[in-house]
Amino acid sequence: MGIKVTLRKKVILKGRESLYLDFYPAILNPKTGKTTRREFLKLYIHQKPRDTSEKNKNKENLALAKHICQKRENELNKPEIYTAYEKERLRLKELGERDFISYFEKLTNKRIGSNKSNWASALHYLKDFTKGSIKFSELNESIFEDFKDYLLKAKSRRSAKAKIAHNTAVSYFNKVKAALKQAFRDNLLQTDLNAKIASIKEVETIRAYLTKEELNQLIKTKCNYPLLKQAALFSALTGLRFSDIQKMVWGELEYIKDEGYSIKFKQQKTKGVEFLPISKQAYDLLGAKGKPNQKVFEGLKYSAYHNKHLFQWIGAAGITKDITFHCFRHTYAVLQLLSGTDIYTLSKLLGHRDLKTTLVYAKIVDATKRTAANKIQLDFDND
Segment 144-164 shows an average pLDDT of 85
In this prediction, residue 112 has a pLDDT band, given cuts at 50, 70 and 90, of confident
Cα Rg for the chain, rounded, in angstroms?
30
* pLDDT for residue 376: 74
Query: Strands of 273-278's sheet, edge to edge?
Result: 253-256, 260-266, 273-278
**Can you tell me whether residue 178 is helix, strand or coil?**
helix
* pLDDT for residue 268: 58
Number of other residues whose CB lies within 10 A of the CB of residue 157:
10
Whether 16 and 31 have beta carbons less than 8 Å apart is answered as no
**pLDDT at residue 302 tops 80:** no
**Can you tell me whether residue 210 is helix, strand or coil?**
coil
In this prediction, residue 98 has a pLDDT band, given cuts at 50, 70 and 90, of confident
CA nearest to 331, candidates 274, 375, 339, 222: 339
* pLDDT for residue 189: 85
* pLDDT for residue 16: 94
192-249 confidence digits (pLDDT tens): 999 999 999 887 666 789 999 999 999 999 999 999 999 999 999 999 989 889 989 9
Q: What is the largest CA-CA distance in the chain?
A: 111
| pTM exceeds 0.85 | no
DSSP label at residue 336: H
What residue type is assigned to position 346 of the chain?
Answer: L
Whether 293 and 283 have beta carbons less than 8 Å apart is answered as no
- Three-class HEC string of 133-155: CCEHHHCCHHHHHHHHHHHHHCE
C-alpha 231/C-alpha 240 separation (Å) is 10
C-alpha 331/C-alpha 350 separation (Å) is 12
Higher pLDDT, 359 or 270: 359
Q: Which of 29-38, 51-60, 120-129, 341-350 has the lowest mean pLDDT?
A: 29-38
* pLDDT for residue 355: 83
Segment 31-52 shows an average pLDDT of 88
Q: Which residues pair with 20 in a beta bridge?
A: 8, 40
**pLDDT at residue 158 tops 80:** no
* pLDDT for residue 82: 53
Whether 19 and 6 have beta carbons less than 8 Å apart is answered as no
Residues 6+ apart with CB under 8 A from 281: 237
Whether 27 and 35 have beta carbons less than 8 Å apart is answered as yes
* pLDDT for residue 303: 74
